[in-house]
Amino acid sequence: MSAALAQSLAVDFCGLRLASPIVLLSGCVGFGEEYTRVEGFSNRHVGAIVLKGTTREPRLGNPAHRVCETPMGMLNAIGLQNPGADYVVGQILPTLDFTETAFFANVCGSTIEDYVEVTRRFDDSPIDAIELNISCPNIKEGGVQFGNSPDMSARVVEACRRVTKKPLITKLSPNQTDIRENARRCIESGSDALAVINTVMGMAIDVKTRKPVIGNVQGGLSGPAIKPIALLKVMQVAEVARPHNVPIIGQGGICSADDALEFIIAGATTVGVGTSLFYEPHSCKRINDGIAAYLAAHRMESVSELIGSLDAPQRTVQACAC
């Protein structure tokens, strides 16, 4: 790829200059080191990496099975297994090369106090930004309860805003009545960016045993199956975020350059890649090349010219199949 095309991929995100609009999503790349063991993979192909969800204390996670393949998707219920914030900051972050790409922390908790303490811990670290995971569908406490309530979401963001000057990204749940209202409340409470969307709640049943396949019964559905849902949510949230210049990480089933372009056109500044990495670790370079080729073909000098460029009629009624 030429220097000019590489430059066209760079995006501004919360004061950070990212080399690519691609963000590797939390839970899909461990703590930033998993895919570096894959021959030919390079962190320089991505704009940022979101580290695995981190809690105040270490967590063992959910019982097996934790992952289940579904048609055009994947269910997971890992349960936020992680070594705890102190270990991540003290032992893992020093091993990461921050000159290759940006690294975002992913903060989880069961109480507002948990979110605050983990955020405070990451504030005193070289991490580039902090993502608040208030919408995790596979833990039994906290998580999704915070993400489905605009009031609770706002309280978490407001409390964490007080203890850090780093960019705050709030990860929004699709499993709620009005994602736009939640987005608005999070922005008003101090969120610098929004990640749209987290996984969709689902389950799978083993017909032979008549038991849930996932040990946690329910889990988060990701992959191409949720892409139409995610795309709509990004467009809806963009309507709220755009007037405040709040960028969006659009995510949910992105596997190709066309997928990524759709999310950017709908209003996302960056695009999250996750599930596709499990079967194609080198997909990021292919997606980057496709985005750059599209920009060149349409005589655009940067991704920013494409963000929110959707040409859609004004919506007056809810769509239905009746």
Looking at the DSSP bridge assignments, the partners of residue 17 are 12
Give a three-class secondary structure readout of 160-226: HHCCCCCCEEEEECCCCCCHHHHHHHHHHCCCCEEEECCCEEECCEECCCCEECCCCCCEEEECHHH
For tokens 């695995």, the residue is: 52
136 noted as active-site residue: yes
Q: Which of 28, 136, 255, 284 is catalytic?
A: 136
- Spatial contact of 107 and 82, defined as CB atoms under 8 Å apart: no
User: CA 196 to CA 252: how far, in whole Å?
Assistant: 8
What is the DSSP pairing of strand 129-133 with strand 102-107? parallel
Instruction: Determine which helix (DSSP H) or strand (DSSP E) holds 275, and give its type and residue range.
Output: none
Looking at the DSSP bridge assignments, the partners of residue 212 are 205
For tokens 């095309």, the residue is: 5
**How is 46-58 classified by DSSP, letter by letter?**
SSEEEEEEE-SS-
The strand order across the sheet containing 219-222 reads 67-70, 73-76, 219-222, 200-202
Q: Which of 102, 121, 133 is nearest to 56 (CA)?
A: 121
Catalytic residues: 136
